[in-house]
Amino acid sequence: MRSQRLDPLLRVMQQRQDAAARDVAERERALSEQEQRLEALRRYAAEYAAPPTDASISPALLVNRLAFRERLNAAVVQQAGIVDQSRQLSDVERARLLLASRETKVLEKLADSYRAQESKAAEQRVQRELDDLGGRRARLAAADRDPAP
């Protein structure tokens, strides 16, 4: 039967879809972690953006603080880039999942169509057999009533 020949392919497609779903979940988790790191860096940078409250800060400490703020701002920019890249990878994985899902649904519809055709053919075969059986019984009954001359 054609529908049974599709079953192994359908299983492979479902496994591919499941793998794509796992990849999406992993990418989403990684994206979430990267976004959390970015938020932490932004909060930390905002804390250091405020001017020092101690008016007696030495020029050397002020220079160090400004240099640290620059490195912190560079880290925020770098992390924002990582978040964007992670988001793009996540979008790619979601697209792969969508494609795998569509392919699986198409194959499932085809298999369902084959099963429906096979079921209809089986029902027609059974009906023909019943009709043949009924016809034979009717001929036998008619032959019993009308003996041959």
Residue 18 has pLDDT above 90, yes or no: yes
Gap between the Cα atoms of 100 and 103, Å rounded: 5
Residue 98 has pLDDT above 70, yes or no: yes
Residue 129 has pLDDT above 70, yes or no: yes
In the chain, the domains with their CATH numbers are 2-118 (1.10.287.1700)
Average pLDDT value for the chain: 90
- CB of 27 closer than 8 Å to CB of 93: yes
Gap between the Cα atoms of 76 and 44, Å rounded: 10
Gap between the Cα atoms of 128 and 120, Å rounded: 12
Q: What is the pLDDT of residue 149?
A: 57
Share of the chain above pLDDT 70, in %: 97
What number is the average pLDDT over the span 4-19?
A: 90
What long-range pairs does 137-142 form, CB within 8 A, spacing at least 24?
none
Q: What is the pLDDT of residue 101?
A: 95
Q: pLDDT tens-digit profile of 19-67?
A: 999 999 999 999 999 999 999 999 999 988 877 776 677 888 888 888 9
For residues 125 and 3, the model is more confident at: 125
Residue 15 has pLDDT above 90, yes or no: yes
Least confident of 63-67, 69-73, 92-96, 126-130: 63-67
